Amino acid sequence: MTISFPIIRDTTPANAIHKGAVVALGNFDGVHLGHRAVIVSAIEMARKNGRPALAVTFEPHPRSFFSPGAPHFRLTDETAKLRLLAGTGLDGAVVLNFDAARAGTSAQDFINQELIGRLGVSGIAVGYDFHFGKGRRGSPALLAAEAPRLGIEVRIQSHVDLMGQPISSSAIRTALSDGRIDEVTAMLDGPWFVTGKVIHGDKRGRDLGYPTANIRLDPNAALRHGIYAVRAEIGGGADVQRYDGVASFGRRPTFDNGAALLEVFLFGFKGDLYGQTLDVAFIGFIRDEAKFGSIDALVRQMDDDSAKAKALLAASNGVFPKLGEVGH
């Protein structure tokens, strides 16, 4: 039996919140290896003391609140982030609405009123560079200094490196923009994935022998335009189906050069996917998108792309993000 990952929100009644949890505190965009180190620290503290371990995170992302007109390439929207958190071994998550009131709350008030007063935390794990409270004046050092007075344990996670470079959400965004999928997978401890509903397209793929499931990504998604080896899941729970495939993300320069679209061809799939939701994990980058002088040349290239995708997927040993089931 699958147990849904419980979510505590601002609207959750205070008497429905069990006090004494150990929390991992952060924005957790992408739930990368650095985030996972914080989460592991929280789980270790919690298990040692027989407490539940929760993530405390914020939605929308504070950057979106402070700069609403600026493009922001999120690695994971709220649902994707929570599904990843649910797959880490945590017992639940606290999602705090980041609005004007919360942005104006002092760091000290956030600690006293939210972490201690409402949640009643017994321990906090936090990354070395996480800041909170009005003016970002709250810091890991402040939490550590307050720990004796509050009677809680605080652990500060130092940066996690990959090949000598600190892992960060920004570094992962840059790697996705460059098409460096192997590096992205290493920093995330699993493939980057997107979720979307299959929409109707122009159906050219059918005529070319490559019928695709078309998904519109967030307009701020700065993924490099090109061809990718992908792995997709349809459905959920015991009914989930997984397929290998090849995908194009871009503007279709051979045809219309329109808005960016993700077009996924699933090897061996027969059926209708319109209106269904797909999780698509990016396993490898094959090439940049290109304009072809003829349909025959395009189809030959698609055949070659499919062969390369199958080779990349065969070498990936079936890797897919570890996702959990999220409650409400």
- DSSP label of 259: S
Q: How far apart are CA 202 and CA 215, in angstroms?
A: 13
Residues labelled as active-site residues: 263
| Radius of gyration of the chain from its Cα atoms, rounded to whole angstroms | 22
As a dihedral over the C-alpha atoms of residue 111, residue 115, residue 118, residue 123, rounded to 10 degrees, the angle is -140
Q: Please confirm whether the linkage preceding 60 is cis (ω < 30° from 0).
A: yes
Q: How far apart are CA 179 and CA 223, in angstroms?
A: 7
- Asked if residues 312 and 283 have their Cβ atoms less than 8 Å apart, the reply is yes
* The residue to which tokens 């960016």 are assigned: 260
* The residue to which tokens 């402040």 are assigned: 142
Tokens of 220: 């701020």
